Amino acid sequence: MLVSWNYRFRNSPMDHIDPRARFIFSFALLFAATATWNPIILFVLFLIAITWYLMARLTWKDTKVGWFMISIMLFTMIVVNTIITGGGAGGVVPPGGQLVWPGGFDLFGKHFTFGLTVERVWFAISQLMRILSISLAFIIIPYTMDSRAYGVTFSKLGMPDRLAYTMELSFRFIPTLARNFQVTLDAQRARGFELDGGKGNFIKKIRRVAPLLIPVTMNAIVSSEDIANAMDLRGFGEQKRTWLYELKFNWWDWALIVFSVLMLATVLLLAFRFDMRLFSVPGWFYGLFNK
């Protein structure tokens, strides 16, 4: 099994933004978007998120798996929970409201009644904007971050060296462990292990993964003694380290950070000082349903 990472240098505007500034922006957007249900604010944030996403110049082919996941999530969250059952809106939208089809409707010669309210439709739209904004900001990270940049980024954001380096070291061992897993899988198949099938009850079926799980895990643990020695022998952790990977703030990075802070501050101010935090349906939207 060969692991492939999605990062590539695309010479996009995103590639020229300092990763620290990118993380600050992404989290500012996350907190801003989750601070309010006000549709206008959410709409503005949604536009900002789209702009941000476009700056990464990712193709559909790059990200389609991610969007597939997000679609599944949005479907359950919005179509199933909010539109059909109503539970998805229950935390925000008060019970009652104006029915979309007050008298029910006819379809294929049959009569249906369906308790969907105008409020829930509007809420679904707000939900969509909020979750898409967050998704747009975060889905691009693996495609736009060099694996060599994580350690120094988090270290410079104030994380202790040992923690920051852990992530970097994880990247190093992923392809090795994936290969080891393949070897173990082959070795056990040579002893008659089959991927699917297998008899026995529920617990037995679960235990069937043990011949794969145990060798790979124990092997990794045994090798960690040597790895730790290799690190100690080259002075790991004796003092604050430097990093080969170079980070450099440019004026636009500072601008982005200032923008992020202002964005978050404005949203928080509007939400909590001017009471624009709560869910409300604009009058014109009701109008669409009053024929």
Residues 99-118 that bind other proteins (CB under 8 A): none
Rounded least distance, CB 102 to other proteins, Å: 24
Q: Judged by CB under 8 A, does residue 181 bind other proteins?
A: yes
Q: Judged by CB under 8 A, does residue 249 bind other proteins?
A: no
Output 127 or 253, the one with its CB closest to other proteins.
Answer: 127
Candidate segments 42-50, 112-120, 179-187, 264-272, binder of other proteins by CB under 8 A: 179-187
Closest to 58 measured CA to CA, from 7, 107, 4: 7
Q: Cα–Cα distance between 178 and 268 in angstroms, integer?
A: 44
Output 57 or 110, the one with its CB closest to other proteins.
Answer: 57
Q: Judged by CB under 8 A, does residue 131 bind other proteins?
A: yes
Q: Cα–Cα distance between 285 and 129 in angstroms, integer?
A: 16
Q: Judged by CB under 8 A, does residue 226 bind other proteins?
A: yes
* Window 23 to 62, contacts with other proteins (CB under 8 A): 30, 34, 37
DSSP string, 96-124: ---BSSTT-EEETTEEE----BHHHHHHH
How crowded is residue 80: how many other Cβ atoms within 10 Å of its Cβ?
A: 12
Rounded least distance, CB 288 to other proteins, Å: 22
Candidate segments 10-18, 114-122, 173-181, 266-274, binder of other proteins by CB under 8 A: 173-181
Closest to 254 measured CA to CA, from 56, 52, 21, 29: 21
Query: What is each CA distance from 264 to 17, 74, 158, in whole angstroms?
Result: 19, 25, 21
Binding footprint of other proteins, residue count (CB under 8 A): 110
Rounded least distance, CB 164 to other proteins, Å: 10
Q: Cα–Cα distance between 152 and 164 in angstroms, integer?
A: 7
Name the burial class of residue 30, with classes exposed (0-12), middle (13-18) and buried (19+) by CB atoms within 10 angstroms of its CB. middle
Rounded least distance, CB 97 to other proteins, Å: 15
Q: Cα–Cα distance between 166 and 224 in angstroms, integer?
A: 13
Candidate segments 9-17, 42-50, 114-122, 188-196, binder of other proteins by CB under 8 A: 188-196
Closest to 122 measured CA to CA, from 38, 50, 44, 46: 38
Indicate if the alpha-carbon torsion angle 132, 137, 141, 143 is positive or negative. Answer: positive
Rounded least distance, CB 166 to other proteins, Å: 5
Q: Which of 134, 149, 270, 281 binds other proteins (CB under 8 A)?
A: 134
* Window 60 to 89, contacts with other proteins (CB under 8 A): 63, 65-66, 68-70, 72-73, 76-77, 81, 85, 87-89
